[in-house]
Amino acid sequence: MNRSALIDQIFLKKSFLCIGLDTDISKIPEHLKKADDPVFEFNKAIIDATHDLCVSYKPNIAFYECQGPKGWISLEKTMKYIQDISGDIFTIADAKRGDIGNTSKMYAKTFFDYFNFDAVTVAPYMGQDSITPFFEFMDKWVILLGLTSNYGSQDFQEIINETGDKLYTLVIRKAQQWGNPSNLMFVIGATHPESFKEIRVLANDYFFLVPGVGTQGGDMNSVVTNGRNAELGLLINSSREIIYASKEKDFQDAARAKALILKQQMSTYF
């Protein structure tokens, strides 16, 4: 999906909600566990209940990998289901990949060609040649880790260099030499609301994927106030708060209700 189509969807739906499909087989409702493919059945139910409220789904790849080949089949079916139900949903493989050039190319093939995701999250530690192979795919996106939502983000991302710049600001600046606002976004955690203003100045035209609202403690209003740009420029993710809103038979309704609250809050910013 290209940049203008994504922006159109956001303004059409008055939503910039991304729903994280961190589907943990041990946390899904009991009655689904008897199904042939419980992970897919759960995802399908969540997608049915929420696809009109969000603009994006973000399967967290670790949760599929840990089931071995079966998990990859669940992921494949989930991706196909999203595309069948709507051609207008932006799909993100939350995979945090990054390796030397020939290997990053294989990861890009996996998520862009094999699974047909629109975007993949990428870790910057290995630098230019670990990131640029992902840019070789038309209308596909790198979502590069900038300032993440977890407490470990302070260990290395906030290291200050000789000229007074923090590592994450160097990552955000340097990556703009390799990508552009039509194929590059940044992950900026909602748990750092004070940083959004400064980061928006560094990367005015770029989308930010924002995890950490809800379970991790981030506040949507301060993120939007400090982080939005003219095209809105934000995808705010919620995973566990929506998909595990209930562990009973009413999980679909509960997920929709949680997603609706977020979507309604979002619609006030348009």
Task: Give the footprint of a second copy on this chain (CB under 8 A).
Answer: 22, 24, 60, 62-63, 65-70, 72-73, 76, 94, 96-104, 106-107, 109-110, 113-115, 123-131, 145, 148-157, 159-162, 167, 170-171, 174, 211, 216
Contact 204, 198 (CB under 8 A): no
Instruction: Find, among 131, 113, 118, 80, the residue nearest to 209 by Cα.
Output: 118
CB of 153 to a second copy, least distance (A): 6
Strand partners, 184: 142
Quick one: tokens of 194? 């004070």
Strand partners, 6: none
C-alpha–C-alpha distance, residues 220 and 37, integer Å: 34
C-alpha–C-alpha distance, residues 149 and 170, integer Å: 18
- Is there a catalytic annotation at residue 96? yes
C-alpha–C-alpha distance, residues 31 and 254, integer Å: 16
Give 6 or 122: the residue with its C-beta nearer to a second copy.
122
Give 31 or 33: the residue with its C-beta nearer to a second copy.
33
Q: Which of 77, 96, 109, 166 is catalytic?
A: 96
CB of 170 to a second copy, least distance (A): 6
C-alpha–C-alpha distance, residues 146 and 171, integer Å: 7
Contact 255, 29 (CB under 8 A): no
Contact 228, 206 (CB under 8 A): no
Give 49 or 188: the residue with its C-beta nearer to a second copy.
188
Quick one: tokens of 97? 């990949």
Instruction: Find, among 226, 189, 224, 231, the residue nearest to 206 by Cα.
Output: 231
Q: Supply the DSSP string of 38-81, one letter for each residue.
A: HHHHHHHHHHHHHTTT-SEEEEBTHHHHTTTHHHHHHHHHHHHH
Give 9 or 149: the residue with its C-beta nearer to a second copy.
149
CB of 70 to a second copy, least distance (A): 8
CB of 2 to a second copy, least distance (A): 24
CB of 54 to a second copy, least distance (A): 20
Give 101 or 228: the residue with its C-beta nearer to a second copy.
101
CB of 210 to a second copy, least distance (A): 14
- What single letter denotes the amino acid at residue 116? N
Give 26 or 268: the residue with its C-beta nearer to a second copy.
26
Residues 6+ apart with CB under 8 A from 265: 220, 221
Positions annotated as catalytic residues are 96
